[in-house]
């Protein structure tokens, strides 16, 4: 792992990092990854990877729910006519 890898990860995770922090994170990550890599030696007895996500269905009923519209819209960083305003993508 090198600084370039840290920069790639930071870009993928959408986080701006300062030059000093990149170095710190690189050294922290090396130590931490070396440690968690020891998972290789953990014994696995006939098990499949488990992904506990499953669908829970609920009745398709029209229920009155409160959405606190005002609390939500008041916190938009930018808005126009009660709609969230975002920067143009293209």
Among residues 4 and 32, whose Cβ is nearest to another protein?
32
Q: Could you give the CA distance from residue 82 to residue 84 in angstroms, rounded to a whole number?
A: 7
* Cβ at position 20, least distance to another protein in Å: 11
Measured distance CA(30)–CA(38) in Å, rounded: 13
- Residue with smaller CB distance to another protein, 13 or 64: 13
HEC per residue, 35-54: HHHHHHHCCCCCCCCCCCCC
Which positions lie near another protein, rule CB under 8 A?
Answer: 6, 9-10, 12-17, 21, 25, 28-29, 31-33, 35-40, 42-52, 55-56, 58, 66-68, 71-72, 74-78, 84, 86-89
């Amino acid at each position: 792992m090198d600084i370039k890898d840290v920069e790639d990860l930071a870009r993928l995770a959408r986080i701006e990092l300062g030059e000093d922090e990149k170095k710190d994170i690189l050294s922290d990550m090396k130590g931490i990854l070396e440690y968690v890599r020891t998972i290789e030696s953990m014994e696995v007895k006939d098990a499949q990877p488990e992904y506990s996500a499953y669908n829970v269905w609920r009745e398709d009923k029209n229920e009155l729910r409160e959405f606190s519209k005002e609390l939500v819209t008041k916190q938009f960083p930018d808005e126009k006519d009660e709609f969230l305003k975002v920067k143009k993508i293209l």
